[in-house]
Amino acid sequence: MNLALFIPEITLLAVAAIVILLDLFIAQKRWLAQVSLSGLVVSGGVTIAMWGGSYPALFNNMLAVDSFALFFKLLFLGIAFLVILASTDYASKFSRFQGEYYALVLLSTLGMMLMAATTNLIAIYIALELTSISLYALVGFLKDKKSTEASLKYLLLGAIASAVLLYGMALVFGFTGKTQLSEIARIIQALPPMTLLASPGLLLGIVLLVAGFGFKIAAVPFQMWVPDVYEGAPTPITAYLSVASKAAGFAIIMRVFFSAFGTPAWLSLHWGAIFAALAVISMTLGNILAIPQTNIKRMLGYSSIAQAGCLMVGLAAMGVASAESLLGQSAVLFFLASYAFTNLGAFIAIIAISNKLDSDLIADYSGMGKRAPLLALALTLCLISLVGMPPAAGFMAKFYIFSAAVHHGLLWLVIIAVINSVSPPTTICAWSR
Amino acid sequence: MWLGEAASTAHVPSSGALRLALFLCCLGVLLLGIIPGYAMKLAQLAAYIFVY
């Protein structure tokens, strides 16, 4: 086994340990952010150097080192870099625990990188827990009433989602006797369709997997944690949750559902239909509930639920597509990258403004065009992108994902998505009052 | 609600690190929106593992 292929992950783990140790000895805590950023740059550099190569899987075929995993590793490292950069001032609010703060961000990034690369159900669960446990602690970092309650809610609901996911994995294992995704696929393909249909255990297992992963991506009806956790968490962590956690969820969904349940075609049609239904209710509910919000973080929380709905249009396209088509998959990846820049930008502008105002109420943002014109301009650009208007990334992302859906015969889903796209401008108008 | 004067006109300062992070995000939003070809190509390469 070539451990050199594992250097990006080992680097992050080492830097997290160094940051915790440094925190004990240095008085100038700003160095902790710089060490963390250096670690992310090194890890990202190694990942870029690996791009385009063909590598064997690691740890008895549990971790793939393919272009899909490398794409997501770069995305997570970039997101963590921007979040830590945006946290340098904010982290002074918890001066005694800055080392732990940066180390937990690095460890959760490590968990997400493993999530994107794992090809085994057990390794998927372990990577998911590494990510989740770090995030539970980070959400409660402000230690005030809202932050603590948000952390507790996230922990309890996350534990239930983990149990559901584990039960789904157990059913899939019980049916196939395998935990490796490629072996699960091989066994399912070898069975006649009637055997599969007569075994509700496997279908229930797939439904429970959708529910477990649906919690990570904040899809309706597994979204109940989003508003409170987004409002209570430190704002940089809210930004991190809204993009990195969602991207990790989509990475694992794509890997599991395409690698293990991608064939036979009737099975992928079934899970494609589930994601299409979830997309419709997530877009509709997320957009409608965003309109009356008065807290900007809660508003963006509901917006992120609607954006998850848009992303699931791509998953539905993947489900109904033929095995040779890559349109749905590449559209989801492009959407995730553009959503990462857009939502992080919006949250970073909010961090800058709320640092001064000490308020997340939308009403307190009035006059920002005069008080901080560049911040207001940047926030406006990000909101335009969230709406999906040109020339911002959000427009291209929605265009790409809707094109994939139309190409695979999901015109009805795109019509619903376009009708839903009317809602974000309404929300922005409501904000700009 | 009608348009009106803001409650305060005090300047809102932001640190260099925050401005850099925001600049990088806005740059990403504009680049992916105006010249998305390279990122789309990367996404297609990354998705290539899904071809049977």
Secondary element (H or E) of residue A39 = helix A30-50
Average pLDDT over residues A343-356: 91
What are the E-state strand segments in A215-258? Answer: none
Look at the alpha carbons of A306, A79, B17, A393 in this order and tell me if their dihedral is positive or negative: negative
- Assign A399 to helix, strand or coil: helix
CA-based Rg of chain A, rounded to a whole angstrom?
A: 21
Task: Give pLDDT tens digits for A211-249.
Answer: 999 998 999 898 999 999 999 999 999 999 999 999 999
Angle at A399 between CA A395 and CA A404, to 5 degrees: 155
> Could you give the percent of chain A with pLDDT greater than 70?
95
Count of beta carbons in the 10 Å neighbourhood of residue A69 = 27
Average pLDDT over residues B23-49: 95
The complex scores an ipTM of 0.92
Question: Mutate which of B5, B27, B49, B51 to disrupt the A interface (most A C-beta within 10 Å)?
Answer: B49
Mean pLDDT for chain A overall: 91
What are the E-state strand segments in A241-363? Answer: none
Cα A346 from Cα A300, distance rounded (Å): 9
The reply to whether B40 touches chain A by the CB within 8 Å rule is yes
Alpha helices in chain B (DSSP H): 16-34, 37-47
Task: Give pLDDT tens digits for A250-297.
Answer: 999 999 998 898 877 888 888 999 999 999 999 999 999 998 899 999
The reply to whether A55 touches chain B by the CB within 8 Å rule is no
Question: Mutate which of B11, B15, B25 to disrupt the A interface (most A C-beta within 10 Å)?
Answer: B25
Secondary element (H or E) of residue A209 = helix A200-216
φ, ψ of residue A58 in degrees (nearest 5): -105, 165
Considering only residues A1 and A263, tell me which one the structure prediction assigns the higher pLDDT. Answer: A263
Asked whether residue A414 carries a pLDDT value surpassing 90, the answer given is: yes
The reply to whether B32 touches chain A by the CB within 8 Å rule is yes
Q: How far is CA A300 from the centre of its chain?
A: 14
- Count of A–B CB contacts within 8 Å? 168
Contact state of B33 with A395 under an 8 Å Cβ cutoff: yes
Average pLDDT over residues A86-105: 89
DSSP secondary structure letter of residue A96: G
Considering only residues A200 and B4, tell me which one the structure prediction assigns the higher pLDDT. Answer: A200
Asked whether residue A141 carries a pLDDT value surpassing 80, the answer given is: yes
Pull the structure tokens for residue B8.
């305060």
The reply to whether B33 touches chain A by the CB within 8 Å rule is yes
**A:354-413 residues touching chain B, CB 8 A cutoff:** 355-357, 364, 366-368, 370-372, 374-375, 378, 381-382, 385, 390-397, 400
Q: How far is CA A47 from the centre of its chain?
A: 20
Report which of A353, A344, A335, A358 is spatially closest to residue A431, judged by C-alpha positions: A353
Cα A375 from Cα A213, distance rounded (Å): 35
Cα A42 from Cα A115, distance rounded (Å): 20
Asked whether residue B23 carries a pLDDT value surpassing 70, the answer given is: yes
Of A330, A375, A382, which is closest to B14 when you measure between CB atoms?
A375
Contact B32, A338 (CB under 8 A): yes
The reply to whether B37 touches chain A by the CB within 8 Å rule is no
